[in-house]
Amino acid sequence: MTKFSDLNLNPKVLKAIEEAGYETPTPIQAGAIPPALEGRDVLGIAQTGTGKTAGFTLPMLSLLSRGRARARMPRSLVLCPTRELAAQVAENFDTYSKHLKLTKALLIGGVSFKEQDKLIDKGVDVLIATPGRLLDHFERGKLLLTGVQIMVVDEADRMLDMGFIPDIERIFSLTPFTRQTLFFSATMAPEIERITNTFLSAPARVEVARQATASETIEQGVVMIKATRRDRADSEKRAVLRALIDGEGEACTNAIVFCNRKIDVDVVAKSLKKNGYDAAPIHGDLDQSQRTRTLDQFRAGDLKILVASDVAARGLDVPAVSHVFNYDVPSHAEDYVHRIGRTGRAGRSGKAMMICNPRDEKNFAAIEALLQKEIPRLDSPVQSAGSDTPVEAEAEDKPAKPSRSRSRTVSRKKADAPQEAPVEVQAETPPETPKAEPKPQAKPQDKSQDKPQDRGQERNQGRGRSGDSGRSGAGRGGDQGNKVVGMGDHMPSFIALSFDERRVG
């Protein structure tokens, strides 16, 4: 069996490895370190949790042990997709370089530019950065990449998912052509393969596992649920999550809950805390100080449940995560491999469970196609995918429908009532055309016409026969008595005719 002492590493690096308690390299480390020490380009493909970080950290330290960095010109460059992964790589360098006089700088967002500029001005041997912050320093004239001897791209497939590939290509163009490139990824998408063919020169390909495969030490399962009502889908899903956590009991020492959206991360974390669980959120919109504090608490065991977006799915190294819960089915099948890879690390056993809605079945099918196996179905931990409210409360909501039906019945009765009351209405309406004082008696037939006609029909007839003297005298004129309303210089003929008749009468 190969040991670290057989890999021709720097003696001071070997001493740090022994003090860290490691003796035997993982397959990716045993395959990548020898060609890297020879100065060759390396293309490493391995599933998450297999020790890729040490696979490039150890040979880099051995190669950089001789030489000295110049101001603003780092000797090596490590690119990481997320702040958390970059900070973790920096910790690895601190662990393995404590007997070497090498300097490093960490360039990530959420940290003051001035502090980072001071480190760069002194000269650093190892520069660890996210692509965006690195280009910010370069465009401000604070950094030169012409002295880079070794360049590392870690979690390249995650770079692709986050849209960093154009930045990666630009950074490659800013570094010397003679650099040594170490390229690590868990999957090999066509775009990633194109980049390796463009920027790597005859790389040593080290592939220790089939692409995008989950560790055999991880027990997987999925709960297929269907909401009882659309407006309760989210609350019922959170109830299933809580039931899954409760069902694991003491076996769940700590867990990571993954959500697709940042807003869901906050909602799920708040719901868990409200129900008495020790949970906290972590996602890209939080301040870097808060993200670091939350992550440190989780690593130290002070926090039991970490609710995260995919920002924590790549490179997050917490050795003893017992469970991973996928609250959402990931949109990209490869993300599922990285999410569940947070458990079952370094040979430990782990458990990963996922909640799937009918609308997520297409993405779920893509995951099974990628894994080339069927994920076991689990029984729902609740009888009827419960909600945040008790089942009794759901029963109380049901009488709402009968109450609405009673209101409709009452409205129908009211609608039917006028059929019995038209006589009363007609008895009240005649005073509008009083019979007691029928002063204009010239056309008595108009009064008889006013009774059987509907008011709407009368108005319609009035519009069609504006000059009808009978309607004007018996209707509007009869109501007003002898009053004549002035209409300006152009008086309608029917008013004038009615006035003359009254004078004659």
DSSP code per residue over 284-296 = TTS-HHHHHHHHH
Q: What is the DSSP track for 280-327?
A: EEE-TTS-HHHHHHHHHHHHHTS-SEEEE-GGGTSS---TT--EEEES
User: 13 in a domain, yes or no?
Assistant: yes
> What confidence score (pLDDT) does residue 485 get?
54
Alpha-carbon gap, residue 315 to 312, rounded angstroms: 7
Answer yes or no: do 102 and 224 share one domain: no
pLDDT score, position 338: 80
* pLDDT of the chain, 505 residues: tens digit per residue: 688 989 999 999 999 999 988 889 988 999 999 999 999 999 998 876 678 889 999 999 999 988 888 888 999 999 998 888 898 899 999 999 999 999 999 999 878 888 899 889 988 999 999 999 999 999 999 999 999 999 999 988 888 878 888 999 999 999 999 999 999 987 788 888 899 999 999 999 998 865 556 777 889 999 999 999 989 999 999 999 999 999 999 999 999 999 999 899 999 999 999 999 999 999 878 887 888 899 889 988 999 999 998 876 565 677 789 999 999 999 888 788 888 888 887 667 899 999 999 999 999 999 999 888 899 999 988 864 444 444 333 333 344 444 444 444 444 444 454 444 444 444 444 444 444 444 444 444 444 444 444 444 444 444 444 444 444 444 444 444 455 555 556 665 666 665 555 555 4
CATH number at residue 276: 3.40.50.300
Structure letter (DSSP) for residue 112: -
447 and 475 belong to one structural domain: yes
- Do both 196 and 224 map to the same domain? no
What's the rounded Cα separation, in Å, for the pair 417 and 412? 9
Examine the domain organization and report whether 429 and 379 are in the same domain.
no
pLDDT at 314: 62
Q: Which of 290, 58, 72 is nearest to 182 (CA)?
A: 58
Residues 146 and 68 in one domain: yes
Number of H helices, E strands in the chain: 22, 14
Check if the beta carbon of residue 103 is closer than 8 Å to that of residue 122.
Answer: yes
Domain that holds residue 195: 4-207
406 within domain boundaries: no
In a domain, 407, yes or no: no
Q: Is residue 408 part of a domain?
A: no
Residue 309 lies in a domain: yes
pLDDT of the residue at 401? 44
Residues 286 and 165 reside in one and the same domain: no
Do 186 and 241 belong to one domain? Answer: no
Among 207, 227, 255, residue at a domain's last position: 207
Q: Are residues 138 and 240 in the same domain?
A: no
CA of residue 254 relative to chain centroid, distance: 23
> What per-residue confidence (pLDDT) applies to 16?
94
- Is 0.75 topped by the overall pTM? no
Q: Are residues 380 and 435 in the same domain?
A: no
Which pLDDT belongs to residue 291? 85
**Are 330 and 230 found together in one domain?**
yes
| Domain count within the chain | 3
Of 392, 413, 433, which residue sits at a domain end?
Answer: 392
296 domain residue, yes or no: yes
3-class SS at 164? coil
Same domain, 499 and 464: yes
In a domain, 409, yes or no: no
316, 85 Cβ separation under 8 angstroms: yes
For residues 277 and 380, state if they share a domain.
Answer: yes
The token pair at 266 is 């906050």
Query: Which one of 392, 408, 432 terminates a domain?
Result: 392
- Please state the length of the chain: 505
Residue type, 370: L
Alpha-carbon gap, residue 222 to 193, rounded angstroms: 32
Q: Does the residue 410 lie in any domain?
A: no
